[in-house]
Amino acid sequence: MVTNLFIIAIVGLIVGFVLSVPAGGSISFVIFTNALKGRTRYCNLVSIGSSLADFTYVFISIFGLTKLYSLYQPYIPYILIAGSFLIIYLSVKLYKSKLEFEENEETAQLKEKEVPRYKNGFLTGVMLGFLNPGLFMSWMTSSFIVFTILTSFGFDTGGLDKKMSDQLNEIHATDQSAADTSILSLTDLTRSKLLYQKPFLASTVPLSKNYSLYLSIVYALSISLGSVTWFYYITYLIAKFRKRIKTKNIHRMIHAFGMALFLLGLFLGLKGISMFM
């Protein structure tokens, strides 16, 4: 069992890292913008805060707690609207932020005119993470595909891939949106192509009755660590090389991120309102 948990931990780290790379959501915009200001500690706190949402959503999606989604679903429009207000507020704050260029004897560095409040970073990350209902479906879909692939190689998932398949079908039955239809067809296609390959990682060691629970916790935790790792390194690289960029160009990038964040918030708000119609 220990070997299986180690393998799933490695897989979770890789998946969490890789899937965070193309992410262009509110969390990425906030982190990238503040990294341009040199606020690496703030960015790290935001990523750690958002990773709590990743852990929660991944664990729920894997362990089969579909009833929680049923309770959660009616409030999605309100969550989207609340999230849009938060994102729009942050976008305006980012757009209005100003930097000044100070020359030191050793190096040139950018500093904010306003002293950064690092303590708010963690809370910002938590709120941005939990006010994003799309995370649940995206992590459920990606986790289902990953566990299906592992099962096709003979890895014992304790039936978690079947649980996730049942969850997707149940959620699809209560939500007939086009997005869910495309997600379900993708996962069904993946399952049909992979489940019947010859396994070569099959385990012959008896597993604990709590194996599914342990596997869910380890995978969810690894996903969170992988995501935090990606944002840590991208924050470091942006903050390090920002000194080579002209101040006016940094202003332009920050304003661009602010505008993109504003449009994202507006889109989520309109989507939430449309769900009442």
The predicted pLDDT at position 231 comes to: 93
Look up residue 187 and give its two tokens.
């996962």
Considering the entire predicted model, what is its pTM? 0.74
Q: How far apart (Å, rounded) are the C-alpha atoms in residues 248 and 271?
A: 34
Q: What angle do CA 263, 174, 73 make, to 5 degrees?
A: 50
The predicted pLDDT at position 134 comes to: 76
Question: In this structure, is the dihedral angle defined by the CA atoms of residues 25, 177, 179 and 227, taken in order, positive or negative?
Answer: positive
Half-sphere exposure of 266 (CA within 13 A, CB side): 8
- Partnered with residue 110 across adjacent β-strands are 101
Q: How far apart (Å, rounded) are the C-alpha atoms in residues 166 and 191?
A: 13
Question: Mean pLDDT, consecutive 10-residue segments, the chain of 277 residues?
Answer: 85 89 76 88 93 90 69 79 88 73 42 51 89 79 80 73 70 51 44 44 53 87 94 91 79 83 88 84
DSSP code for 106: S
Residues present in the chain in total: 277
Cα dihedral 36→238→34→227 (10° resolution) = 170
The predicted pLDDT at position 20 comes to: 83
Secondary structure of the chain: what % helix, strand, coil (to 5)?
75, 5, 20
Amino acid identity, position 194: L
Q: How far apart (Å, rounded) are the C-alpha atoms in residues 155 and 202?
A: 5
Q: How far apart (Å, rounded) are the C-alpha atoms in residues 157 and 167?
A: 16
The predicted pLDDT at position 275 comes to: 81
